[in-house]
Amino acid sequence: MKHKSFSSIAEARIKEAQRRGALDNLPGQGKPLRDDDLAGLPYEDRIAALIHRSSGGAPEEVELIRKTAALREQIAQCTDPSERERLSAELRPMCLRLAALFESTGRYLLANSDLTRTD
């Protein structure tokens, strides 16, 4: 028995919906699709970002950028040397993870930017 691929199943369901008229008079019909800010991402990253966006969450990179910015602010305002060192130690693995995420997605310029510096 031959198994149908996902795309052939999807295509069959779309054709069936068209035949029933379920796709007629949809909002925005005949208008171009809205451009999103994910067009430059590789397919896998784009899908992951769309899933995060639809579930209300932010991508890991965005969360890490927010957290590192907050930690950098705390470090800048900190006057106690031991607390400053503790905060810096907390910052280092976040910056390394952020650099790894950027590098794994081909964003080498960001991987070596101020966003990932550990000082």
For 34-57, what is each residue's pLDDT tens digit? Answer: 766 677 677 877 787 788 778 877
CA–CA gap between residue 5 and residue 13 (Å, rounded): 13
Q: pTM of this prediction?
A: 0.50
CB 84 within 8 A of CB 62: no
Tens of pLDDT, residues 23-40: 898 888 888 877 666 776
Helix axes 81-104, 60-77, angle to 10 degrees: 160
CA–CA gap between residue 4 and residue 1 (Å, rounded): 10
Give SS3 for 110: helix
Contacts 24+ apart (CB under 8 A), 29-32: none
CB 103 within 8 A of CB 40: no
Compute CA 29 distance to the chain's CA centroid, rounded to the nearest angstrom. Answer: 28
